[in-house]
Amino acid sequence: MRRFSLATLRVAGLLVLLVGVLHLLMTQHLMHWFGQYLTRDSDVARAAMLLNHLVVGVLLLPLGIGLAAIARPLGRGEPWAVVIAVADCAALLALPAILAFSIRGPMLDAPACVAAAICLTIAPLAVTIATTYLWLARPGEAAPHT
């Protein structure tokens, strides 16, 4: 289980990092695509969408790096790794809750939206379980101190 938990955190970290990079790479494409649905007077909407997409992309980068980097230190029970793990898990677990309250109407019928909702529910749970296991099952903790 320990090896699986370490691998889960590393893979999740790499996937989050990849999503951040994709967010940044796809920003201009999405702006062009959404632009055809906006009027010329929608500069505020364009700016808000651009800012949102860039900020999310940039913030996903350290989240992904952090998830991958904390695996071993968390298993050793290092306090800084526990703090990062709790923050990362809280951020990831907020995603399905936000989706549940935000997605309404026809968006619920879109296959991409359903797939994203499933991924954004399973992934945070897997990361939280792996993180909890590594934190609670620290090597040598059960041995008495001499």
Q: Is residue 91 part of a domain?
A: yes
Distance CA 136, CA 11 (A): 20
Q: What is the pLDDT of residue 138?
A: 59
Confidence of residue 139 (pLDDT cuts 50, 70, 90): low
Domain range enclosing 108:
2-136
Q: Is residue 145 part of a domain?
A: no
Q: Is residue 90 part of a domain?
A: yes
Q: Is residue 84 part of a domain?
A: yes
Report the domain count for the chain.
1
Distance CA 8, CA 23 (A): 22
Q: Average pLDDT, stretch 65-74?
A: 89
Q: Is residue 50 part of a domain?
A: yes
131, 74 contact by CB (below 8 A)? yes
pLDDT at residue 142 greater than cutoff 60: no
* DSSP conformational letter for 104: -
Distance CA 106, CA 108 (A): 5
Q: Is residue 142 part of a domain?
A: no
Helix (H) or strand (E) holding 20: helix 2-35
Q: What is the pLDDT of residue 143?
A: 36
59, 52 contact by CB (below 8 A)? no
pLDDT at residue 144 greater than cutoff 70: no
